[in-house]
Amino acid sequence: MSQVSRQVRSCLLSCLPMGLRMKVLNTWPNWRKAAPEGMEFVFDGYLDDLKIQVDTRFLVERIAWTGAYEADFQNWIRCNIVPGAVVLDIGANVGAITLGLAKQVGDAGRVHAFEPAPPNRRRLEENLALNPELEQRVTVHPFGLGQNVETLYWHEEPGNPGNGWLRTEGEEAVPVKVLDEVVEGLSLSRLDFIKIDVEGMEWPIFQGAEATLKKWKPGLYFETLSRFRQDGEGHEPIREFLEGLGYQFYFLNKDGTAEPLTAGKWASYTLAL
């Protein structure tokens, strides 16, 4: 129903004159998720006081225009990512989560943002440039992560601009590295948290991160949507792997508080501590 509702809202908004459309969108921010294509501007109220580009072709940016992208996770970040923390944002996209993390780690902290898709990475770098104080806290890494060092190819999801996957064939080549090797090369003094949102490639990334997880025991937040289940096994390989390292699983309420995940049940995103 939510998808139908969004389509209906988008149709209604498209029919309104621009002045009335903006009045509706300013009155009901949640309607911005359904804003029709053709609107491009810089929004200066993201996470209260940050700037982010909005192009209404892109769902992530329409949601960011409501004030927060993944508001439940942003609330958790505010309460749990401390100044001085070192965090990894794997699958940073245009930086909607990167900005929230950078805001929390402070000048003494560091965010390492991994985004292999060239169009998304350009948008990420532009959004960081809009927020110079945060830009200096972020290192952008222009490659993907997986179980092996290899070359894969970026594919954008049809009908969902900005969203996509890495595949074994294609035209836009992307280097892929192994997280354990990358982290070792960074010579970190601490690693507090890792967020992974890579459209079904979470398990290969975990397979290449065992030494990192054993050494640092960082908190984890990763995508577990049902459509990205692993070869009919659900997300059980990830569960078994992380449980073997001592992790327990949680889902987030809208206010950012965490509750234990019922055995065998997965939310769209899962917190592991």
Does a structural domain hold residue 111? yes
State whether 121 and 6 are in the same domain. no
Does a structural domain hold residue 44? no
3 sits in which H/E element: helix 2-15
Q: Looking at residue 31, what DSSP letter applies?
A: G
Whether residue 256 is predicted with pLDDT greater than 80 in this model: the reply is yes
State whether 76 and 29 are in the same domain. no
List, for residues 96-116, the tens digit of each pLDDT value. Answer: 999 999 999 999 999 999 999
Q: How far apart are CA 62 and CA 68, in angstroms?
A: 10
The pLDDT of residue 160: 81
The pLDDT of residue 223: 93
State whether 139 and 21 are in the same domain. no
Whether residue 1 is predicted with pLDDT greater than 50 in this model: the reply is no
| Domain CATH number, residue 109 | 3.40.50.150
The range of the structural domain enclosing residue 156 comes to 71-272
Q: How far apart are CA 126 and CA 31, in angstroms?
A: 25
Calculated CA dihedral for residues 216, 217, 223, 227, nearest 10 degrees: 110
State whether 231 and 109 are in the same domain. yes
Does a structural domain hold residue 84? yes
The pLDDT of residue 4: 57
State whether 96 and 13 are in the same domain. no
List, for residues 57-67, the tens digit of each pLDDT value. Answer: 999 999 999 99
State whether 153 and 266 are in the same domain. yes
Q: How far apart are CA 53 and CA 221, in angstroms?
A: 25
State whether 139 and 214 are in the same domain. yes
Confidence at 234, pLDDT banded by 50, 70, 90 = low
Q: Do residues 195 and 121 make contact, with C-beta atoms less than 8 angstroms apart?
A: no
Least confident of 94-108, 130-144, 173-187, 252-266: 252-266
In the predicted model, what is the mean pLDDT of residues 187-207?
95
Q: How many domains does the chain have?
A: 2
In the predicted model, what is the mean pLDDT of residues 253-271?
89
Q: Do residues 39 and 54 make contact, with C-beta atoms less than 8 angstroms apart?
A: yes
Does a structural domain hold residue 56? no
State whether 114 and 27 are in the same domain. no
State whether 181 and 243 are in the same domain. yes
Whether residue 230 is predicted with pLDDT greater than 70 in this model: the reply is no
The pLDDT of residue 229: 60
List, for residues 26-76, the tens digit of each pLDDT value. Answer: 899 999 999 998 899 999 999 999 999 999 999 999 999 999 999 999 999
Structure tokens at 129: 């440039």
State whether 128 and 246 are in the same domain. yes
Does a structural domain hold residue 80? yes
Does a structural domain hold residue 59? no
Does a structural domain hold residue 194? yes
Does a structural domain hold residue 211? yes
Whether residue 258 is predicted with pLDDT greater than 70 in this model: the reply is yes
**Per-range mean pLDDT, top range of 6-15, 162-171, 224-233:** 6-15
78 versus 1: which is more confidently predicted? 78
In the predicted model, what is the mean pLDDT of residues 224-242?
76
